[in-house]
Amino acid sequence: MDYHSMTTASKIGQLKSPERDEVVKVGYLFSAAVLAGGRSVRMGTDKAFLRLSGEFLVERQLRCLLEAGAAELLISGRANADYSRFDVKVIHDEHSAAGPLAGLAAVLKAAAFQKVLVLAVDMPAMTSKMLVKLLTLGETNSGCVPTGDHKFQPLVAVYSKTLLPIAEAQLESGHYSMQEFVRQAIVKDLVRLLPVEPAEEICFTNWNQPSDCVDISS
């Protein structure tokens, strides 16, 4: 079988990278989703299908989630995109033009497990080691959200399905801020914060426009 015709899961089964060998899996089952439903206006093309080191970004993120130990993979995707080559369940927003909060709500609703790890498609420098660190802090009833530079990083985080009513209430009221969503979750003691260390900041680099697209593998 040709490598490019294999499913993402099959590729991970053959992966022998040092990082995969070093990662210690957490002690609970969790779902994981790539958030790839954005309009990519500044990029000018669907960021999920940009290539880095021979992989689509969405494929790279799915691999990262599998390396972190995900028991279920999901893609929160665009309605007009074809993700069939990845052999992963695709979830579409129930609220249109509502930003990543709508994608998160749809994922929380569809996930098979109580804990859900989400990862934005446009963070190609993210590592499974960083994700496991989040998952470890999210082992209790709460989730875990990274924080740094006076703001939250809500698009690479661990959430509990118990947060779904908060997300849905925000969407119904027309308030789509992910920062506000995290603030409400903190008030209800449903997420813990993880301060990002200086050496970890590169993991949260975004690809938002063509000039951002550099090879982070070198």
- Residue 218 belongs to a domain: no
Mean pLDDT of the chain: 83
pLDDT at 38: 58
- Residue 216 belongs to a domain: no
pLDDT at 93: 82
- Residue 73 belongs to a domain: yes
Report whether pLDDT(4) > 70: no
- Residue 18's pLDDT band (boundaries 50, 70, 90)? very low
Structure confidence by residue, pLDDT tens digits, 46-93: 677 788 888 888 999 999 999 999 999 999 988 888 889 999 999 998
Report whether pLDDT(12) > 50: no
Report whether pLDDT(3) > 50: no
pTM of the predicted model, to two decimals?
0.84
- Residue 122 belongs to a domain: yes
- Residue 45's pLDDT band (boundaries 50, 70, 90)? low
CATH number, domain with residue 122? 3.90.550.10
pLDDT at 98: 85
Structure confidence by residue, pLDDT tens digits, 156-215: 999 999 999 999 999 999 999 999 999 999 999 999 999 999 999 999 987 665 555 565
Output the CA–CA distances (angstroms, integers) from residue 139 to 27, 92, 117, in the order listed: 8, 27, 12
pLDDT at 209: 53
pLDDT at 56: 87
Q: Spell out where the chain has E strands.
A: 31-36, 51-52, 55-56, 72-77, 89-91, 115-120, 143-148, 151-152, 156-160, 191-195
- Residue 42 belongs to a domain: yes
Asked if 32 and 98 touch (Cβ cutoff 8 Å), the reply is: no
Range of the domain at 39: 3-211
Q: Is 36 helix (H, G, I), strand (E, B) or coil?
A: strand
- Residue 66 belongs to a domain: yes
pLDDT at 95: 85
- Residue 2's pLDDT band (boundaries 50, 70, 90)? very low
- Residue 217 belongs to a domain: no
pLDDT at 140: 76
Report how many domains make up the chain.
Answer: 1
Report whether pLDDT(23) > 60: no
